[in-house]
Amino acid sequence: MNAIISASELASELAGDNPPVLLDVRWQLSVARAAGEPPFDGRAEYAAGHLPGAVFVDLDRELAGAPGTGGRHPLPDLAVFGAAMRRAGVSANRPVIVYDGGQGWAAARAWWLLRWTGHPNVRVLDGGLPAWQGPLETAVPTPAEGDFRPVPGGAGLLDADGAATLARSGVLFDARAGERYRGEVEPIDPVGGHIPGAVSAPTSENVAADGRFLPAAELRARFTALGASDGTDVGVYCGSGVSAAHEVLALAVAGIPAALYVGSWSQWSSDPQRPVAVGPDPQ
């Protein structure tokens, strides 16, 4: 099963006998903003217009735990996550489509969590809301309670030690912008640089100008050139485990399974005992 779905394919499925559950996960990374500029409000964006029948899911509260030793977006409490999914109507025998405002990071985080906790049929709307040509609605739906019970372990998960090992034994991709990988700038975390041995692979280079993923063959060629050959174990990290989920999704489109280091750089860089590499060289 493909990990993504086009807007036209989604429109056809919504008109079918078993329409998918729609999750709206609009979110943006919170960084320092100019004085007086309000923070991004995904719920307000949802209220202004969303795909018919879609339910809003809060990434910071329902797809992640509280910031702390596990990083800025650690794994959520499974009881909280499961309750949010059931509230949205998610059931094990019904497909799920996730979308966001177009960047794809937040949708990919929900996609990864549902896969990791055992949902068999979840995809991301390629290009997000901007790709949708159909009508929007402002009414908030009240779907029937779903039956999904999250059981962790359905997809690859790395901790800090696992990421360090994979950077030596396989391929560990750093999905952040190249200047953050090199340690030239670090707007959020306490230290700039990257995990020693990690390979720079910005997830922004996996999509075209319209935010849709590059063709699978192009993605596979890109990742193969970066070291993800057949039989190689692959992992991904970013700043806090959100944009890295987008790269795991891109790898899935390319037919390459990959694990996610959820704590990512926000966890790694907060531990003074962890080594840090800077510059373009992985080491």
- Please pick, among 22, 238, 244, 245, the residue that the annotation labels catalytic: 238
Eight-class DSSP state of 137: B
Q: Where are the alpha helices (DSSP H) in the chain?
A: 7-14, 42-48, 59-62, 78-87, 105-116, 160-169, 178-181, 216-225, 243-253, 264-268
| Consecutive H or E run containing 172 | strand 171-174
**Tokens standing for residue 202:** 């910005």
Reply yes or no on whether 195 is catalytic. no
Which amino acid does the sequence have at 176? Answer: R
- Measured CA distances, 161 to 167, 192, 255, 273 (Å): 10, 19, 26, 12
Active-site positions read 238
